[in-house]
Structure 1
């Protein structure tokens, strides 16, 4: 099975047997957490590649705990924790939803997330663990996306 491994060194693809442990496949040291993509909790220490078999993409994030994501909108800041494999689209759903800023449905589609102080919108498929790097926090701004006149 093809496993996409995200860690402090970057991203790589590893071919592995489903019976192999994720610790062996990723080269993680003892006690290091391994997270499946979009998971809220790390996988068991003895998990095998087989636990990823039913997923659309067999991707794991190695060596990080939860990432504390702070989103600022209209001068207010809300904070939530996500697994490192959570994608920006999931953070956007939270930030615009009832547990975040509780924005009207019609306003949500015009908003994007950007790194704090940045002018570039984030790709919805980017993982928060990738953006946080080796850190445990991530600061984002929720802003109107680019509008095209026409």
Structure 2
């Protein structure tokens, strides 16, 4: 008949011989084994893993879901206003901000389509500055200061 008793933790410093609430001793015949119970999982004492690991002891782990939203809303009203000021615009209509975001989306899609074609043709997965310079050069918008687009740098 298996007898369950509390294990005294006198061997651990600072416990002062108080009984442990999580550790139990089962004795059957001539064998005595200690086991540790946490939640619904049990890890036996002795050799092996020291603890239960991450995530055990709870029902399930929560996973952070990425919320997909329109990233062009991150281009703020002030950002659009600064771009317009650089272009020489003095006064901006309220309806212009959403239209500017749509034009920006179309422009970026056109440039990034060419950039992806260049990167895939080279057999790479990383976009470099020379890829963007070459894609802009191909569309007739030469960008100076980032190397020679004909040589790929």
Which has the bigger relative contact order, CA under 8 A and spacing at least 6?
1
Q: Which structure shows the bigger proportion of residues in helix conformation?
A: 2
Q: TM-score, normalised on structure 2?
A: 0.24
* TM superposition score normalised by structure 1: 0.24
In proportion to residue count, which structure has more strand? 1
